[in-house]
Amino acid sequence: YVPKQMPDPRSDGFVERAAEEIVTLLRLSEGRALVLTSSYRALEAYRDHIRGRVPFDVLVQGEAPRERLLERFRTDVGSVLLATSTFWQGVDIPGESLSLLVIDKLPFSAPGDPLHEARCEAVERLGGDWFRDYALPTAMLQLRQGFGRLIRGHADRGVVAILDPRLRTRPYGRAFLAALPRCPIVEEPAAVAEFFGNVVAVSA
């Protein structure tokens, strides 16, 4: 699910608009969701916006040890887990507890990250293009790893929502989509509602 009419993720209004979209999606999926964020700042903003607006237990990275959060998420079907950084990899939640995966932004490294900048500079010194040869492939791999949190076995099914409009508006968006497992791509909340058999909620 790649929603239409999302603002640019670098704009001031993106996090608030993304939070609204996440609330809508959580109502459609009836919880059972992992929300992977691009930063701790976004994580806190989504937490503040979502808690109290959905009738599900909202678990947040940093409020309990990682393994305890994952165990609660596995056993409390219907809960929601908000996370960033290390949760993009190595998280195994088979079955119904994880039926919706939300990724707020394409996982490009943050500007100003010293390690990222050093690697980009090294690529440039060797005659390469820092974006094409390093930043883009790294972000594509990270997105694949995040996407893989949803489907861990043949019996798993669900919806991946990527809220970043650059999948549609930038030429490199096609490269990101091509790097993901093949699946139907939809842009209307009604399609998500239909998948979850929750047609009433989308019109509420």
Write out the chain's pLDDT in tens, 204 residues: 999 889 999 888 999 999 999 999 999 999 999 999 988 999 999 999 999 899 999 999 999 999 999 999 999 989 999 999 888 887 888 778 899 999 999 988 776 777 777 877 887 788 887 788 888 898 899 888 888 887 666 677 899 999 999 999 999 999 999 998 888 999 999 999 999 986 544 444
Asked if residues 196 and 99 have their Cβ atoms less than 8 Å apart, the reply is yes
CB 150 within 8 A of CB 88: no
Give start and end residues of each alpha helix (H) in the chain. Answer: 14-29, 40-50, 66-75, 114-125, 130, 136-147, 166-169, 173-179, 189-196, 199-203
pLDDT score, position 152 = 65
Q: In angstroms, rounded to a whole number, what is the distance separating the alpha carbons of residues 192 and 75?
A: 24
C-alpha to C-alpha distance for 113 and 103, rounded to whole angstroms: 21
Taking the model in full, what pTM does it have? 0.90
